[in-house]
Structure 1
């Protein structure tokens, strides 16, 4: 038994309900509300060796992934396997992206086709690899084993028609009614987030394209400040509401709960991550000359700094405004380079600095209170000397955050979306992601070892609903990139040299052909990849073969135990018949022996069968003769 299985079993013995043999300890709930958390302590010796090994290693080997699975469980193992596979696959788009940037320029149709094909190959190959890893780790099908949720509130108890046991359930109709609340939630999220993003987008366009007054170079960052402060706050509120809504849907088991919550979180992240680029690509460029004259409403944002009205006056005629084709490229560079660096700092560096700062502040407050006198003794003051170091370590790790692997998966899926949807804008996007993900793999390992409590090693056989998100983004990318190539060809100003001359039928035709080519390619690639053999599949076939062979040998062994039929009728003697009758009367004969004792010998059976055949032959001959006469 590997360490992750041992820790998982211990955790389940502690937290499972008493009705299934557990202790029923649920932190922060009910009678256990004073229990903060349950977690295993870090193995610091292993963590140091792990980080040191990864810092000098270019790629992760299958043995490295097995080691992660053995230590942290299959769910985290699948995340690292996915990130490693994604990183390896990025080498190909990074190579032809660099060549496209150097020789083909921006919005290359060749790059768009190759990138869409790469997305299909990657998603289909990951499905294949996911299946192979599940077989390798012996967890194939564990997602169908439903782990009960402690937060489930049953509405009634029914008798299971199969087992006859009492089972707590929740009516499916009532849950469906609650699930329908997702519709107004999605609409509200789109309106709220969309309004904020669109407003900041309009202010940014007004300041950068129209405003000509003082402090323009500083005011242009105003929308960024508004988004940086307001968007995380609004997203946090909506995420909390999405969690409450998923809790209200009252799922019995963990997997459907995680799937429902993931879908809601994906919608929020899709809006916040991609909407600014969509606005620039499909609103600003095609209709910018028509919309800009109405942006005077945003003059309030810069009115205190303007010297006169002329500096805030938008052009009255569409012909007086010129579209900035480089705007979209700058936006793509920001989201795929700058934002990735900022996200890395917010994920790894800032939490560490913040935690160290809090520790220093507490130490200073404690020292100041001791000098003033009357300070209350800390909990550590009553520790037994021989346990002092251990308890200090426990308190230190208890103050750490709880690791959620879905946060890191969400980050990778959002990054993949930028590549699948918008990399045709700037072909060096995969190069940036290739460098980022090499660092990300090691940063996540450090984060788990240093900044987080040791995760509970849960089993899994997939990355869950995020796989559906990857497939969705790959499909949407085939539509988006074809539209971008059509809109921004001819050096980014449209197919005819003027965005106003873009034909709607041409755009729709490009999207139509691109989507259908994508669907055809996905079918062909999925069929081809399904034929690829792998060690996991070979192992599965070997196990099935050995099982069939074992069953066959057992069946053959049973046939050898059946008593043989008498070969000659003359071997049946009076003494043998008396012995058989005696054994039958004493009930010592086997069922097979009693059956065959009631039968005739095989020679007599053959004679009777031959007689039946001979009697049937004349009838057949007569029928054939009648047919010939006819």
Structure 2
């Protein structure tokens, strides 16, 4: 059976590099990999790319797995020593544990025993990706199992962790917890809608309570899973990012050298995000407000032809322009995050993702806030003012197409369309979910299929042997290479994007649920589908993520805390303004009082819930406390027994107890070769193969099937 716990693929793109440079870089790469103790094999990829397959020998992999466990014990992540000696060779408890050690061997710096290869950095700027190969059999088994379940158990989450690592597993644990909790606002929302509740105070209170309890419960659940998966406080063992630029080396209190970057410089660099966020909010806000005003003007005052079409022209223009502006701002956010000089990859990733999330909040929540607190309360004054100024600006064109006098609904005492707030929430929340589903699951498939068709169309025609002419071993090898080449063309999977989507959805519920109580039904259905399609997306549309470890969803907890707090303000304000029988009947002078009371009631309730849940804890948290106590008690008993033995020895005339020393032999199990690494490779063989492939691929537009796919991979 093919093993997938010890192989990685490095993708080297040489289409924009001259042959001499490509040969030199590939030579250095393979030398560095082999110096780290890894086995390598080079094969041609699609188009002008080179795939360098990397395999960790059994003894090397087992040693790194053991050292990783010892390191976890030293840093207090686990409480018990793994046993064995410094030269112990062990098997990983699950596939992701082995793959993580191979990732460290490829990616970690040379002073830590790795090859120091980081895609896109320095001399590796032409390395586009490093990824482990998908275990297709395990993927299919997991997908088949999950498709039969409505909710995932802890054992199901364990299987995801075993295959993809704890970082990805925490996302599925989060969406699973959120999905189960969504049942409550879904039921109360249906009841509120059925009973005719409009901006219901009861439903608003219940939703605020639900948001608070759900978030505090997840915090306990997160700790529980981190203990179960033995990754609690795993951030303490994270190594420096290769991009981290330290100024000097200092020795900490434990006598260990540390790379140091001055704290005041780091704080000053982080402060750059404040003007960036302010300017981004001003730019996006001005654009959204302008389009919103134009849309309102057209919907209320336009008297020309095709009113149903013209009304949506500003929205269409915004949809075309906004992605380009967001793309520019995201590139600026990436440059600022690079400048911030984060020490670990986790801190960098979360800083960048949260900047992008702030931009997403502005584009998704701002139109609703404008509708709720500007258009509906003050529309009777704003729309005539907009109409008059636009007519004067456009001259005869404005006089022709924009109504005035008795033709204006506002001039005759008409009422602003109060249903627009509900329509805005429905449009942005539910259509956003649908469009996100298509962008994540449909468009990537279509693009990949089209790209594959075009690649095949451009590929040179070669005469391939029939199935009967090819040995079964060569057939399996050819299938393996086709799968690897296909995976190399996929995009890397970013779990932070999926977490951001759920957090954004949580924000709609926290901030605007009283506007349309049925919004939670749409989210419930979406997440039932999302839970399964995300697993399918990882297996079929993305490269397999490196199984890096995490002890939760990171700083997203702070984002959820902020949205829950903000929800106590917005829901109180919305119910105060629109909860009466007529729109705008709520007194504006009393609005600050309502917000003040709502916020402080929320803060008091949150403190009570947090205290109660932390007191109750969970089975794993209680077990960890018991294990720590038992460990300290055992040490105490051993000390007391030693003292008693010493007293007995002294009382017995000083008889010495002899202890026989035992010698341990080092045993290395030699595993037989597999299909991809069957012969003992001579030093330099992979280098020669890689260079010959680069020369052979020059001038070839695409790579189809290769004759060497049918040969044995030496």
Provide the C-alpha distance between the structure 1 equivalents of 2:287 and 2:643, rounded to a whole number of angstroms. Answer: 78
Q: Trace 1:181-580 onto structure 2 (pairs within 5 A).
A: 181-296=272-387, 308-311=400-403, 315=408, 320-366=413-459, 387-491=477-581, 493-495=583-585, 502-564=586-648
Larger fraction in strand: 2
1:144 to 1:166, Cα distance in 2 relative to 1, 3 A: closer
Provide the C-alpha distance between the structure 2 equivalents of 1:317 and 1:533, rounded to a whole number of angstroms. Answer: 58
Provide the C-alpha distance between the structure 2 equivalents of 1:250 and 1:348, rounded to a whole number of angstroms. Answer: 34
Provide the C-alpha distance between the structure 2 equivalents of 1:103 and 1:274, rounded to a whole number of angstroms. Answer: 28
Q: Which of residues 268, 281, 285 in structure 2 aligns to 1:177?
A: 268
Provide the C-alpha distance between the structure 1 equivalents of 2:194 and 2:629, rounded to a whole number of angstroms. Answer: 54
Q: Deviations over 1:349-374 (max 9, x none)?
A: 1111111112122323447xx69xxx
1:163 to 1:96, Cα distance in 2 relative to 1, 3 A: closer
1:505 Cα deviation after fit: 2.0
Say which one has the larger Rg: 1
SS at match of 1:308: helix
Provide the C-alpha distance between the structure 2 equivalents of 1:249 and 1:32, rounded to a whole number of angstroms. Answer: 22
1:398 to 1:293, Cα distance in 2 relative to 1, 3 A: same
- Residues 101 and 427 in structure 1, CA contact (< 8 A), matched pair in contact too: yes
1:89 Cα deviation after fit: 0.1
Which range is displaced more, 557-566 or 438-447? 557-566
- Residues 100 and 427 in structure 1, CA contact (< 8 A), matched pair in contact too: yes
Q: Which residue of 2 aligns with 1:130?
A: 222
1:145 Cα deviation after fit: 3.0
1:110 to 1:181, Cα distance in 2 relative to 1, 3 A: same
Provide the C-alpha distance between the structure 2 equivalents of 1:414 and 1:552, rounded to a whole number of angstroms. Answer: 51
1:143 Cα deviation after fit: 2.4
SS at match of 2:580: helix
SS at match of 2:647: coil
1:7 to 1:299, Cα distance in 2 relative to 1, 3 A: farther
- Residues 142 and 159 in structure 2, CA contact (< 8 A), matched pair in contact too: no
What is the count of residue pairs matched by the alignment? 553
1:450 to 1:316, Cα distance in 2 relative to 1, 3 A: closer
1:8 to 1:431, Cα distance in 2 relative to 1, 3 A: same
Provide the C-alpha distance between the structure 1 equivalents of 2:625 and 2:132, rounded to a whole number of angstroms. Answer: 37
Q: Trace 1:35-184 onto structure 2 (pairs within 5 A).
A: 35-154=127-246, 156-162=247-253, 167-184=258-275
- Residues 376 and 418 in structure 2, CA contact (< 8 A), matched pair in contact too: yes
SS at match of 1:159: strand
In structure 2, stretches of 5+ residues that fail to align are 1-92, 463-473, 659-714
Q: Trace 1:5-44 onto structure 2 (pairs within 5 A).
A: 5-44=97-136
Provide the C-alpha distance between the structure 2 equivalents of 1:140 and 1:110, rounded to a whole number of angstroms. Answer: 39
- Residues 217 and 613 in structure 2, CA contact (< 8 A), matched pair in contact too: yes
Normalising by the residue count of structure 1, what TM-score does the alignment of the two structures yield?
Answer: 0.82
1:164 Cα deviation after fit: 5.2
- Residues 157 and 166 in structure 1, CA contact (< 8 A), matched pair in contact too: no
Larger fraction in helix: 1
Which range is displaced more, 389-398 or 256-265? 256-265
SS at match of 2:241: coil
- Residues 420 and 474 in structure 1, CA contact (< 8 A), matched pair in contact too: yes
Normalising by the residue count of structure 2, what TM-score does the alignment of the two structures yield?
Answer: 0.73
1:83 to 1:483, Cα distance in 2 relative to 1, 3 A: same
1:166 Cα deviation after fit: 5.0
SS at match of 2:515: coil
Q: Deviations over 1:420-468 (max 9, x none)?
A: 0001000001111111100010111111011100011111112111111
Q: Deviations over 1:120-165 (max 9, x none)?
A: 10010000111111111111111233331111122x2233153556
Provide the C-alpha distance between the structure 2 equivalents of 1:165 and 1:77, rounded to a whole number of angstroms. Answer: 33
Q: Deviations over 1:532-573 (max 9, x none)?
A: 242212321332233123212311220222235999xxx9xx
Provide the C-alpha distance between the structure 2 equivalents of 1:388 and 1:11, rounded to a whole number of angstroms. Answer: 25
1:25 to 1:520, Cα distance in 2 relative to 1, 3 A: same
Q: Deviations over 1:378-408 (max 9, x none)?
A: xxxxxx9874332222111011010010000
Provide the C-alpha distance between the structure 2 equivalents of 1:536 and 1:304, rounded to a whole number of angstroms. Answer: 74
SS at match of 2:341: coil
1:119 Cα deviation after fit: 0.6
Q: Deviations over 1:589-611 (max 9, x none)?
A: 99xxxxxxxxxxxxxxxxxxxxx
Which range is displaced more, 428-437 or 543-552? 543-552
1:48 to 1:289, Cα distance in 2 relative to 1, 3 A: same
Provide the C-alpha distance between the structure 1 equivalents of 2:493 and 2:134, rounded to a whole number of angstroms. Answer: 13
Q: Deviations over 1:159-212 (max 9, x none)?
A: 315355654322222222222221221111011111111111111111111112
SS at match of 1:392: helix
Provide the C-alpha distance between the structure 2 equivalents of 1:6 and 1:250, rounded to a whole number of angstroms. Answer: 30
- Residues 206 and 295 in structure 1, CA contact (< 8 A), matched pair in contact too: yes
